[in-house]
Amino acid sequence: MEHRRSPTISDVARVAQVSTGTVSRVLNGRPGVHPETRERVLEAVQRLAYTPMQAARELTGHTETVGILLAPEVRRYIPYYLLFFEHLAEAVWREGMRLEEIPTDPVGLPLKAARAYVLMGAHDHDPRLERLAAQGIPFALIGVYPGTFCVAPDDLAGGYMATRHLLELGHRDILHLTGQPQHQAGRERLAGYRNALSAYGVGYREELVLDGDFSTLTAYRRLRRAWEGGLRFSAVFAASDEMAVGALAALEDVGVSVPLEVSVVGYDDLPEIGSMLTTVRQDIAEIARTAVGLLKEGMAGAQPRGVRVPVQLVVRGSSSRYQPDALGP
């Protein structure tokens, strides 16, 4: 007899022509889904005879909730967070639990209990880390912090490879748009940028580092102000794709051609950004799956450990070889 695999949430999403996150929202009874979309998901569930472990746990009243805790400054609408949430929801679902964004107090501590938590946006001396650890509540951090279950992309390597790519194209005046340097991601991507400059014998120039706050609008404003103020550079390494979009818009508005006159490299490889941006790809789905695996270890009483997920440079059309005369005198 032929063995047929059980349908998955990805199969339901494919048949219903929606994201896995939308399927999760429908099956968890969460708001924010159009009635026609909800009906399409439920029809796909019935057609595929999809019976996840989650449904059985809901019937017996033993569903365990994994809460996602955001630091106050994390923007819920940004593409990175929305994509990460969808992958995390699927990974949690596959373990028979449900994901819920938990309301927090002003410092980010949970106002609602959950079986375990995933933390985003941690910073130096974050009160959530010590408080949850002291209470013995399992959590996994998206980032890096000693003595915790944590997972992060290899941001030091990512910053290095993005800057090295530009250096190998002949660029020497490379502007870096950093973001929230008090946080692990911004700090490590900046360190990778500095390491690459040093390795190629290029001096670090403080005026070529602008804090874009991981924001498209802030990056746009600060890069445009710098250019109009007389600062010149032949390349930009932005520590996020969203800041790269701000850089591209600013350069266009001041009449600078990309990549003929200025090359631009981003970070994340978000599908919403488009197919022309040279960027550093981080595996968001793998980060989400690893976070759930670490949560399971924490709930089982294992010793905390950290995981680094490799990143990859993706070369597209926004970077090219340095042309000394491109910007004129």
User: Is the pLDDT confidence value at 255 over 50?
Assistant: yes
Residue 31: inside a domain: yes
Residue 317: inside a domain: no
Question: Do residues 230 and 81 share a domain?
Answer: no
Question: Do residues 149 and 287 share a domain?
Answer: yes
**Tally of structural domains, the chain:** 3
Residue 319: inside a domain: no
Question: Do residues 99 and 240 share a domain?
Answer: no
**Residues 253-257, mean pLDDT to the nearest whole number:** 97
pTM of the model: 0.80
Residue 326: inside a domain: no
For residue 322, give Cα distances in angstroms to 211, 277, 316, 326.
Answer: 24, 17, 15, 8
Question: Do residues 88 and 28 share a domain?
Answer: no
The pLDDT of residue 328 is: 54
Higher pLDDT: 10 or 148? It is 148
User: Is the pLDDT confidence value at 34 over 70?
Assistant: yes
Q: What is the CATH number of the domain that holds 24?
A: 1.10.260.40
Q: Which of 282, 279, 281 is nearest to 315 (CA)?
A: 279
Residue 237: inside a domain: yes
- Angle of helix 79-94 relative to helix 284-299, nearest 10 degrees, comes to 50
List the domain range (segments joined by +) for residue 6: 1-51
The pLDDT of residue 2 is: 44
Question: Do residues 179 and 243 share a domain?
Answer: yes
Q: For tokens 């981080």, name the residue.
A: 282
Q: Are strands 311-314 and 278-282 parallel, antiparallel or unpaired?
A: antiparallel
163-191, pLDDT tens digit by residue? 999 999 999 999 999 987 778 899 999 99
The percentage of residues in the chain with a pLDDT greater than 90, rounded to a whole number, is 56
**Residues 156-161, mean pLDDT to the nearest whole number:** 98
Question: Do residues 113 and 253 share a domain?
Answer: no
HEC per residue, 49-70: CCCCHHHHHHHHCCCEEEEEEE
113-148, pLDDT tens digit by residue? 899 999 987 777 788 888 888 888 899 999 998 889
Residue 272: inside a domain: yes
Start-to-end C-alpha separation, the chain: 76
The pLDDT of residue 136 is: 87
Q: What is the CATH number of the domain that holds 202?
A: 3.40.50.2300
The pLDDT of residue 109 is: 83
